[in-house]
Structure 1
Amino acid sequence: MADSLIADCKQEIKNRNFGKALTLANQSVSIYQEIQDYKAIGDGYNQIATIFYYQGEPYKALTNFEKSASYFKKANFKNGLASATNNVGAIYYFLGNYSKALDHYKIAVQLHEDLNNEKQVAGTTQNIGNIYSILNEFEEAKRYFGIAEKNYRKSNDEKALSLVLSSLGDVYAKEKNYTEALQNFEVSLELATKNKATQTQAQVLFNLGKLHEDKNEYDTAVNYYNKSLTISRTSKSNLNESSALIALGNINLKIGKKQNAVARCKKGLEIAKKINSVSIQEEACNCLYNAYKATNNPIKALQYNERMYLLRDSLNLKQTSDKILNMEFEKEMILDSIANVEKERILKLQHKEEVAKKEKQRNIFIIAVCFAVIIVLAIFGRLNYMRKSKARLQIEKDRSEHLLHNILPEEVADELKEKGFVDAQDFETASILFTDFKSFTETASHLTPQQLVEQINIYFKAFDAIIGHYKIEKIKTIGDAYMAAGGLPKPDANAVKKTILAALDMQAFVTKRKQENTLLDKPAFDMRVGIHVGPIVAGIVGVKKFQYDVWGDTVNIASRMESNGTIGKVNISSNTFALVKDDPDFTFEYRGKITAKGKGELQMYYVQHAKEQKDLTTTTPIPQKVDPISV
């Protein structure tokens, strides 16, 4: 029955009935999971990812292609793994993350070459050419496209050939070689039309419109853009539809049809927002800015101009620099810096005393004159030195405060600076999270000390980013263990849910990291996570190397939740379950009463997402891509 469901699903995808296809695919995956047919499960997730890709939901497509790859790997189905890895690269490519796209493409090429899959190697080679085209390395792009074209002609694959010819035409158009560009576009359109490849038709028609627009042949350009728009709507391609609408809006503005330009670009912006396409939103806002400026509507023009620059900033935004790895070392550096300043001051004073002593050996007149000069110079030097020292001490103070805020929560750090100590606080409801890597010693034995520190740093940096996102507090790391708490130092009604979401994201990162390292034949870690909610006491103890910490039986139970958990899962206590059991975002698996060391029998639950969480990160989509579907 499941086999017939997946066959019907594939047919519905061909017919563009995506809603029905998605239902069939999900039904087939449920059946295959019951019988643990990993190869078939991988195929089911592949179809689900394909549906989301064609519906313009790349993040859901990425998640399901990654699931597909993991199940193909379990089934030792190398063809499927190679294809799914290529598909993950294709989605990263679509989203504009070229570094990750190339990483996955290289792995996919190697897998396909090992299997002698010449056609798939050609497709991935074409994608590499596309990336070079985007980076404006045109000679390299044409070289890779040429390799792909040769293979497609050899295998008589007209659909793939139409895509690579379209890509070649785009490169020639960028080089202003319109004759070669037009020739490649026309052959590509002919092949796409012959083979009913509607996505390719829409893209090539758009490219022909762009070519004629660059040549100021607006009537011809409008004709091609309208054809692209019609096919995009018929094939339900939101990406191509929004691009065509904005292109028509820009031409309408050029020929003086300002209201038409506003209408077209607004519709294009609406669709681009729907599919989270930041670059196309930026183009639409730029079009609307120019259109409203042309219609003497400065308020509207300013609004869209501001939105355009915000979108542009989001495209260029880079990650912040890494956090300081060793706070104690940095603190010692500050102390050494202060000590050096004091040492320098003492040396200067000693030097002045020696000069004064030698001057005393001269006659009284010279001594009197020199002494007066020394006094004047000493006063001036002292004042100058004090000014410089004050400035340097202020710099050190600012650095110390920055380090203090990295070591302690901001509220606790401020109290410590103000009072010199911190009062302990009782929290009736705090959520404690513990993680621990399984078989850490065994895995670490395969790494050098440097490699081990680098690997642990990668994981803990990711964990720091995750808890920062959910605004929960990192407490400490002990070896390979990581501890965090929600609901302190400021109580938060959503702290328990945020802690669970953080734990799920941590497990997702560890799972993905293991997949990547396994493909690269590198050691990787598995991890357990446990959460418990209850009363705790929080504060600082000691006067050296102080640390914000928490105490109470809640901490011990949270540790038992972690040690009695399972790798890849998030294990929670009954207290935690009681607080979130009605939350529609989670599903739970009751584990029964499990004996925990020193605590007797405790009820435990596994928690997971009720549905896939959509990644809100937006990146730049690319108009021309090879269809990622290869299974």
Structure 2
Amino acid sequence: MKNPTGAFLWILVLCTATRMPAQKQGQALIDSLLSVLPAAAEDTGKVELLAMLSFNYYPINPDEGIKYGKQGLKLADELHWQPGIAQLNGHLGINYAVKADYPTAIDHFLSALNGYEELGNKNRSATTLVNIGNIYLLTADYPQALDFYLKALKVQEELGNKKGIALSLSNIGLIYKNQSDMPRALSYFSRALEINEELGLKNNMANNLSSIGIVYDNQENYPKALEYFTKALEIQEELGAKDGIAKSLSYIGSVNFHQEQYEPGLQHLYRSLELAKELGNELVRADNLSLIGAIYLAAAKDTAGNSLGSLGFNGNRRSALLQARKSLDEAIAIQQETSNLKGLAVSYESLSEVAAMLGDYENGYHTQRLFKMVSDSIFNLEKDKKITQAAMQYEFDKKEAATKAEQEKRNAIAREKMNRQKLLLYSFISGFALVLVFMWVFYRQRNRIKSEKKKSDDLLLNILPGKVAEELKTTGSAEAQMFEQVSVLFTDFKGFTRLSARLGPKELVGMINECYSAFDRILEKYGVEKIKTIGDSYMAAGGLPVPNLSHAADTVNAALAIRQFMSDYNKKKSEDGMPFLEIRIGVHTGPVIAGIVGLKKFAYDIWGDTVNLASRMEASCEPGNVNISRSTYELTKDAFSFTYRGKITTKDNEEVDMYFVDKLIS
């Protein structure tokens, strides 16, 4: 396949440190390396030689780059040379990325990352994290991209690497821009620009200026967008950066299009297209073709006909539409080949309009369906939730690291103070006193061990049910169990993603923590077992790990108590003029399998259709209510009053009755 995006590979090159002299890059260096390869000894020197060949081949012939990369990796494995293994995996990742074989590229980058982390090479770890994020960004897997960019940012902050910090901030801004969160995108791009201006990195400044221009363009602030795109173009022309010039011309053409200035728009886009062809930049080329098609479409839609005349069509609307279709077909072919989902969605949308105006309704309908399918694969609620969760996790980790560092500082001071006291004590005390000291140390150590054991037991009981924790301590493992009848409870907050866009991660985590802590106390009161939380979802179950006959009533009582707590909580928030959280609660009763999963950070979890149907009960609930299934209703109908809601169909095409729980019958 062709190079998917010059901009992407430029980032990859920046992020892969090498020792080769810049003046020898290209075919001349490859010829030089090939001439000495046959005489090279089977040692680490040959590994480095093969690594240089693999890296230098990526822009010329990635298949050759892969061939030499595999040879180098095989030799490095035989020599058990970890630095070489990590470096070769990184170079193979770049070559596979050029071929748009992204799954294989990810595999090699992850292997490189593991190697660099084992070697303690934080610089290489950070750049590899960025490369992985770049691939996920290119394939529109925004949650994964954000996760790796945040990890890279954390490492770069530890290193104090301002250039790396600016790069990660730019990439994170790009994620939010692609998810249409423009205020947050603008914040990250501006922070990156400030750092790059401080460092005097003009090329990076131009990239940040372009990104800010894109944000303003999306916000329809076209004068501001044009201002920033023009600043970026001036820097790129000063640097002679043809790739950057092509992009800036394309961006300016896009602004012209939005301002209905079609003639200058086409002039800028065709200039950009010519440069993109020269450079082999397929991403910019496809974007230009898509925009050119959109301009011809807009001219054809101009009922006054002025645009058709200014573009040389002399009122011939069909000619403009045919020209639009030609450009869009070319754009789509490139976007399909390079897996550019976002660009593909835009081109499909324009092409469906062109087909409809040409009277080709069958193709118009087909293209519209393709547009919907691609759009839905990029923008969906689950990915928005995962992005919020990744940002929340980053804030948690950052806070935890700061707390740990402060505690270690206090411990060091305490240890130093204790050492001085011991030294003074040993200098003046008699032999009998020394014996007493040893006795005291022994007694204190015994109590400390006892105290630490209690802390460990308490922590285990906080993670696992008591019965399961005891089994784990006694035997070292815990068997999974089948429970014939358990009542599973799910809660979820309505509008959580929109609220997360209004609040910072710290404020959002504070609200969630306040609610979940209250839920924990309620579950403890009614004897219901908390299972886990997943972002803004909370899961619990009654009737395990020790079966009982009251599990359904216990779980419904807990659900009503949670509903009442949230009602009081939201009332107070509303009176204070603050955002609040509306809750949905679902309960279903049936069989489950329960046990411990994982080897590290293990957790007690449950599985089965009962869990899935309980989740459906929650999803089908209305905010501020408790929605239960027929099976739960049959076990609790004498204790509570209900409102029948109708049926839902399960994935097995079975119909299940639903009921709102009104209140406990006195």
What is the TM-score when the length of structure 2 is the normalising length?
Answer: 0.47
Name which structure has the greater RCO, CA cutoff 8 Å, separation 6+: 1
Q: Taking structure 1 as the reference length, what is the TM-score of the superposition?
A: 0.50
